[in-house]
Chain A
């Protein structure tokens, strides 16, 4: 007789990856849109360059959120029970926190839109600050959701939430750049503003990518197994889409500020980085599960 198997499945699939990506993007889009109201004239009023994006950004953020909700809910085996994490709140579970923050975040968006149409600056500021914090919590909690799995070594490190926040910054930047470019509103100031953030996010992503690479090579057996899987199954996603297209090329494009601040260049770079932001998440989520399938 040969090996009997109790086969196992990887619990999280495409829905979750897309959700993680979109909710992070929604969060960062909100942060950009709320920036003028939140930061006002700090940093020499740099955030003011986002004023033209304010309303449309809020709407985009809301739309992304509205896409996310059914994605998240239908991914559940029991969609009708989507509110259970709130009524049976479990404080050690990131999903519980996420479920709580998610509707609050939605309320903030609506509140902000409401405030901005009513030109209520105070409310805009409150919902902007609160919403930005909640917006940041979106990629953060999805990262934590992986990180708290103490038994999955690929996930169980504190850089994951950081990475997810940073990746959201890339995709959020892409949303702003694409929207504003297509509306003909990506002016020099806005480009400079976005360039700073894209630069930061790509730089940090690059650093984290290298760190991850070291861990995967020098880490425990499980991490090395993940390395195996990545190179075998997700080689193209990892090296091609994430590293080359998602990090190296955009980084090179914006490395020289003069060039990088050109609206079109910046937008292309931001879009590429968003691709990387998606595939990096995908690789980490999938490979992290596959290491355990046969255990």
Chain B
């Protein structure tokens, strides 16, 4: 089947784990705890994110609604980022984690180009606490915690208990229960990546956020500031 991955897809393979996250969008309140917990856990610098929560308002006054859409690496079972990496710095773990070897990464950004979910970023070198920089990073599904029997940090703190984590190959796990009992969607299934972050009951406004650029002037001007800040820095020359 897939080539160039260090581990075969494990979804549904007996005796293997397939870690996955279910995000119950009915329960997400956009509190951003996940974003901050994740930044703290890894000393994630400003301007890059392992996880974000997109916000979208819809409707006309007085019938307005607000929708939240947490995003993170999908730990694809068929990850294109891994296949294209020239150094196997990014690799697929047999339990489904898609991980980085920082000491191998040359920051060629091929994997960023390959990921259809914008889940990857180049780590700035100026960090507060951790000294690793100038390499590509992304959400690790908190493998260092999961291996020790803990939930990922963003799941741990999720106020709405919207993020649920577990082994999809275990029929008794909560993620299995949720996925089998609810209608779930994954993002961009047509890309063949087999994403392992499942969303419960998104409505169209929520999934469309995945494909929308900033709408309000406030958001657009922030985007401009972001691109202006990055322009002329080592990468991104001229594109934005």
Contact = CB atoms under 8 A, between A and B. Distances in A.
Interface of A: 1-15, 75-78, 81-82, 84-85, 88-96, 99, 145-146, 148-152, 221, 286, 289-290, 292-295
B116 A152 contact: yes
B1 interface: no
A2 B136 contact: no
Given A2-B216, A292-B116, A78 B237 contact: no
Contact of A12 (B49, B113, B227): B113
B142 interface: no
Given A13-B237, A77-B136, A151-B191, A96 B54 contact: no
A6 B118 contact: yes
Given A15-B237, A88-B88, A150 B214 contact: no
Interface of B: 3-4, 30, 32, 47, 49, 51-57, 71, 80, 83-89, 104-110, 112-118, 121-122, 134-136, 188, 191-193, 210-216, 218-219, 222-223, 226-227, 230, 234-240
Nearest to A285: B239
A213 B159 CA distance: 48
A235 B52 CA distance: 33
B223 to A, nearest CB: 6
Contacts of B54: 3-6
Contacts, number: 177
10 contacts: A3-B56, A5-B54, A14-B237, A77-B235, A78-B107, A85-B87, A88-B88, A151-B80, A151-B188, A292-B118
A91 to B, nearest CB: 7
A77 B114 contact: no
B4 A90 contact: yes
Contacts of B212: 294
Given A7-B227, A9-B240, 19 more contacts: A1-B30, A1-B55, A4-B53, A8-B121, A9-B236, A13-B236, A13-B239, A75-B108, A77-B105, A78-B134, A81-B106, A84-B86, A88-B89, A90-B88, A93-B110, A150-B114, A151-B114, A290-B239, A293-B118
Contact of A3 (B83, B104, B214): B214
A185 B4 CA distance: 49
Contact of A13 (B30, B118, B235): B235
Contact of B218 (A2, A11, A84, A152): A2
Most buried by A among B3, B88, B117, B188: B88
Contacts of B136: 77
A9 to B, nearest CB: 5
A3 B219 contact: yes
B191 A150 contact: yes
A9 B4 contact: no
Contacts of A96: 86-87
B55 A2 contact: yes
B223 A11 contact: no
Contact of B87 (A5, A8, A84, A151): A84
Nearest to B51: A6
Contact of B215 (A3, A93, A148): A3
Contact of A294 (B104, B214, B230): B214
B85 A10 contact: no
Q: Across the A-B interface, give the 9 residue pairs with the lowest CB-CB distance, nearest first.
A: A77-B107, A92-B4, A6-B52, A11-B109, A151-B116, A95-B86, A85-B86, A13-B237, A294-B213
Given A12-B113, A13-B239, A78-B134, A5 B211 contact: no
A150 B238 contact: no
Contacts of A4: 32, 52-55
Nearest to B52: A6
A289 B230 CA distance: 16
Contacts of B104: 81, 84, 88
